[in-house]
Amino acid sequence: MTNQSALILRMVSLLLLLLLQGTEAKMEIITSKENVPVGQEITMLCQAGGEGIITWQKDGEDIEEKVSTLDETTSKFHIMKATMQDAGQYTCHCDFDNGDEAKVQKMIYIYEGPSFGGTSTYHEFLEGTDGMVPCLVTGQPAVDVHWFRDGKEISTNAGRGVRHLPNNTLFIQGVKREDAGIYSCHAEIRGRPIDKQLAISVVVNAHPTVRLREEVKKVMAGPETNVTLLCLVAGHPQPNITWTMPMLFDSSHHQFNSDHSQLTIRSVARVDYGEYVCTAKNKISESNATIMLYVFEAPEVFVSVELLSMSVGEGVSVSCNVSGHPQPELHWINKHNGQTLDLTTGRVHVVDGVLTISEVVPSDGGLYSCMAVTASGNASRDVAIITQPGPPHYLSVAPGPTSVLFFLKTPPVNGGSPITSYVLQWRQSAAEQWKEIVTAPSLGRDPLKITSLKPYTLYMVRLAAMNVMGPGQFSDTNTVRTHGIRKCHTHNYRTFPAQTVSSTHHPSSEGEPDSPVLSTDAMKVDGNSFSIPLKQTDDGGTPLQHFNIRYKQDKEGTEWKEMQLSSGADSISLQGLSFISAYQLEVTAINANGSSIPAVFNFTTGAQPASRMTKGGVVAIVMVIFLVLFLVVDASCCYINRCGLLMTVAVRLFGQKVPGLRMLDDAEGNTNGEVKLKGMSTPRGSLQQTGVQTITKEGWQLTEVTCDKAPLTKHEKTQPCKDLPHADA
């Protein structure tokens, strides 16, 4: 139907053309197209432009069929279905009525195609192979083929990777990834503007490849350790990734990313150790790669016991095992001396991680450590072994009057636990039970002490240290004799002769010096200075080291002052004392064995010299005072008892006894003014000596100046301080 209407349309346009051209006597062939595909109709109108007889010829041969005369000036040639044979040169010839003749020619081309037939529009090649992409074109009379990619023609030049072969096939030599894409096969009817193109896809496939970032991975096991294994794959089409693992997949432990190129193992444990194979597979092939995962474990140490309390002599064994990967080495170490215990035999030995100590001794006490040693780290665990302390060695023992002192030069071995106390024991004979006290360890070098012993007594003493395990072995037994007790501070202590009165003598004890001797008769007091000779009679067998001097004013609240004198000193001299004051002095001699009993001495200092006076002046003043005193005494004596000098004078004057007055001669004893004078002439403030060192002597005469019936009495005893003793021996 549509064909017919198109035909009518064409006819109408032809007629219009004829009308336009009018009556011009011009001859022509009118046709709709000169290139006619096979099978289509061909219509030609020959217009003569004048009346005449019109004839048609093809390639010089007359044709009668398919020709029709429309009117005197127009003829039509029509073929329903063109065939290749219809192509040719058509001539329209007219013999005009007026005798003229004319002709006009027209070339009609018939073609078929081009057609791509069964040409494949999709090709896949494996990377690296040679690819052929044919373009199967048919067409008549002939077809020219061109290949294009991205608007550029692909040449036929040999030697190019991609080229156009003479048989219209596209050849891709050694297909590369970039050769993939859309190609276009362009076909053209030779010499005619008739063409067609076909788009052809080329796909380049590639084998899967697997690339690893690391083939060996080392991690430390632990709940906090996550490890990620990465498998980088390539290939076309995109390969699928699968993993083979040393253990079954567990979604709580293993995790993949979306394309499975990444495997994460959470909380890596020892069981995760092994080979992880990542396989990439596509339709071309498959490929795999292996990651080795090494899982190390931090070393750990287990000991069977961490604190062991045992008695000396017992046996002990502590086992230790170590874990970790790689398997750690096991070492036992004595932390006290840092020694590795590696003997496999003996009293202390280690076999298969078991530390054995047979017959524990106190020095075994202490900290031990079982160590796990690996290249990547160490671990250790301590074991404390506690036993009783060792016996005290390096001990010296010193007796006192009622005590025994122990000096420890070094503390005993503590058995692994601090020494809490010492047991001190004593007895007088082997038959006796030991008596003991427990005492805290002394600070510093202070001695330990047994007190309340009897003086001058032989004792056996010993001691042992104690820790939480109890007392350790006792020291060797020492035999000591206690000293005597000092009695020096008593009043009743008197000795002869007067000039060397020393303090107590005690029986010479081993070692310590005797008390120093103070020559009291040679002591000197000059105002606030004091000096006294010093002598050492017995150094106790060991050279003296020095003298300790201490002195203090004899009143409440004063402090002892101390000084030392060298062992060669032969006197003590003190300066800058207070005037007219009583002082106490103590002197001890020291040697390597200890100190003597102190020698004790009391003295009183002199007065401050008031002013510079001549000796005569002083004598005069003293005389006057004395005279006044004498007169007062005598007067009162005379008055009360009718005695004294005044009485004598009175009697002499009056020649008779004055009634009521007693004669001087009647007085008991013969103490007279001379004696008194002698006594009183001692300078004011002379020493008042009392106590042990008081220079006393039996038969001393002590004058008591009283105005009594018996003014002059004899005493054998030292009197309180208001006495005025004189040594007139």
Ligand X SMILES: *[C@@H]1O[C@H](CO)[C@@H](O)[C@H](O)[C@H]1NC(C)=O
Q: Tell me which residues touch ligand X (CB under 6 A).
A: 134, 165, 167, 169, 224, 226, 244, 266, 277, 279, 288, 302, 304, 321, 323, 373, 377-378, 489, 554, 584, 600, 602, 690-693
Stretch (H or E) spanning 620 = helix 615-641
The string of DSSP codes covering 351-398 is ETTEEEESS--GGG-EEEEEEEEETTEEEEEEEEEE-PPPPP-SEEEE
Which DSSP symbol is given to 722?
T
In this structure, the number of other CB atoms found within 10 A of the CB of residue 416 comes to 27
- Alpha carbon distance 178, 206 (integer Å): 12
* Residue with Cβ nearer ligand X (317 or 584): 584
* Residue with Cβ nearer ligand X (141 or 691): 691
Provide the minimum distance between the beta carbon of 151 and ligand X in the complex, in angstroms, as a whole number.
25
Closest-approach residue to ligand X (CB) = 691
Provide the minimum distance between the beta carbon of 440 and ligand X in the complex, in angstroms, as a whole number.
34
User: What's the angle, vertex CA 342, arms to CA 337 and CA 348, rounded to 5?
Assistant: 75
Provide the minimum distance between the beta carbon of 715 and ligand X in the complex, in angstroms, as a whole number.
18
* Residue with Cβ nearer ligand X (55 or 558): 558
* Residue with Cβ nearer ligand X (323 or 545): 323
Provide the minimum distance between the beta carbon of 555 and ligand X in the complex, in angstroms, as a whole number.
9
- Alpha carbon distance 520, 276 (integer Å): 108
* Residue with Cβ nearer ligand X (69 or 257): 257
The string of DSSP codes covering 240-282 is EEEEE-SS---TTTEEE-TTS-EEEESS--GGG-EEEEEEEE-
What is the token pair recorded at 401?
A: 């009057």
Provide the minimum distance between the beta carbon of 279 and ligand X in the complex, in angstroms, as a whole number.
5
* Residue with Cβ nearer ligand X (402 or 581): 581
In 3D space, the residue among 399, 505, 540 whose CA is nearest the CA of residue 457 turns out to be: 399
By the 10 Å C-beta count (0-12 exposed, 13-18 middle, 19+ buried), 593 is classed as: middle
* Angle, in degrees to the nearest 10, between helices 615-641 and 645-654: 70
* Residue with Cβ nearer ligand X (288 or 457): 288
In 3D space, the residue among 436, 392, 397, 428 whose CA is nearest the CA of residue 410 turns out to be: 392
* Residue with Cβ nearer ligand X (261 or 288): 288
In 3D space, the residue among 406, 469, 393 whose CA is nearest the CA of residue 437 turns out to be: 406
In 3D space, the residue among 407, 721, 463, 320 whose CA is nearest the CA of residue 592 turns out to be: 407
- Alpha carbon distance 506, 509 (integer Å): 8
* Residue with Cβ nearer ligand X (37 or 691): 691
Provide the minimum distance between the beta carbon of 495 and ligand X in the complex, in angstroms, as a whole number.
12
* Residue with Cβ nearer ligand X (54 or 162): 162
Provide the minimum distance between the beta carbon of 32 and ligand X in the complex, in angstroms, as a whole number.
38
Phi, psi (rounded to 5 degrees) for 179: -75, -10
- Alpha carbon distance 368, 320 (integer Å): 11
**DSSP β-bridge partners for residue 524:** 531
Provide the minimum distance between the beta carbon of 345 and ligand X in the complex, in angstroms, as a whole number.
23
- Alpha carbon distance 493, 495 (integer Å): 7
Provide the minimum distance between the beta carbon of 83 and ligand X in the complex, in angstroms, as a whole number.
28
By the 10 Å C-beta count (0-12 exposed, 13-18 middle, 19+ buried), 644 is classed as: buried
* Residue with Cβ nearer ligand X (14 or 534): 534
Residue with the two structure tokens 């013999």: 95
* Residue with Cβ nearer ligand X (709 or 717): 717
Amino acid 130 reads D
Which regions of 159-226 does DSSP assign to beta strands (E)? Answer: 162-164, 170-172, 181-189, 195-212, 216-220
Provide the minimum distance between the beta carbon of 335 and ligand X in the complex, in angstroms, as a whole number.
13
Provide the minimum distance between the beta carbon of 134 and ligand X in the complex, in angstroms, as a whole number.
4
Q: What is the dihedral of CA 244, 246, 252, 256, to 10 degrees?
A: -30
* Residue with Cβ nearer ligand X (165 or 651): 165
What is the token pair recorded at 605?
A: 């200092």
- List CB contacts of 696: < 8 A, sequence separation 6 or more: 494, 498, 718, 725
Provide the minimum distance between the beta carbon of 600 and ligand X in the complex, in angstroms, as a whole number.
5
Provide the minimum distance between the beta carbon of 704 and ligand X in the complex, in angstroms, as a whole number.
21
Which regions of 446-574 does DSSP assign to beta strands (E)? Answer: 448-450, 458-467, 470-471, 478-481, 517-518, 524-526, 529-535, 544-553, 561-566, 571-574
In this structure, the number of other CB atoms found within 10 A of the CB of residue 575 comes to 10
Reduce the DSSP state of residue 117 to 3 states and report it. coil
* Residue with Cβ nearer ligand X (220 or 705): 220
Reduce the DSSP state of residue 92 to 3 states and report it. strand
Provide the minimum distance between the beta carbon of 512 and ligand X in the complex, in angstroms, as a whole number.
21
* Residue with Cβ nearer ligand X (285 or 686): 285
Provide the minimum distance between the beta carbon of 539 and ligand X in the complex, in angstroms, as a whole number.
24
* Residue with Cβ nearer ligand X (252 or 670): 252
* Residue with Cβ nearer ligand X (375 or 443): 375
In 3D space, the residue among 88, 109, 112 whose CA is nearest the CA of residue 38 turns out to be: 112
Which DSSP symbol is given to 665?
G
How far, CA to CA in Å, does 389 sit from each of 274, 346, 413, 421, 465? 55, 22, 6, 11, 6
Amino acid 25 reads A
Please answer whether residues 95 and 48 qualify as being in contact, where contact means their C-beta atoms are separated by less than 8 angstroms: no
* Residue with Cβ nearer ligand X (172 or 667): 172
Provide the minimum distance between the beta carbon of 174 and ligand X in the complex, in angstroms, as a whole number.
16
Provide the minimum distance between the beta carbon of 162 and ligand X in the complex, in angstroms, as a whole number.
14
Provide the minimum distance between the beta carbon of 547 and ligand X in the complex, in angstroms, as a whole number.
18
